[in-house]
Amino acid sequence: MFVCLCNAVSDKQIKKAISDGASSVEEVQQVSNAGKNCGTCIYAVQEIIDREVGDKKENSKPEPKLGSSVKEL
């Protein structure tokens, strides 16, 4: 699906840019040209970054150690 219609940039291209290390709209723009014309797609690009980076962070969260407990009330 195209996210940036002006420059024909798809969500797959944006996800690839993120997996290659881009973590901001500016960095995605540098490698894909998404958002460099009218700017309408910037929020959609940011949403993809947030989702992808959030997924990476969630996957890298350490698991709670067994035996740790919730603070009793």
Judged by the rule CB under 6 A, the positions of this chain that interact with ligand FES are 4-7, 34-41
Closest CA to 50 of 12, 8, 22, 10: 22
Q: Which is nearer to ligand FES, 38 or 54 (CB)?
A: 38
Tell me how far, at minimum, the Cβ of 32 lies from ligand FES, in Å: 10
- Please tell me the number of Cα atoms within 13 Å of 7 on its side-chain side: 21
Tell me how far, at minimum, the Cβ of 13 lies from ligand FES, in Å: 12
What is the H or E stretch that residue 9 is in? strand 9-10
Q: Which is nearer to ligand FES, 39 or 55 (CB)?
A: 39
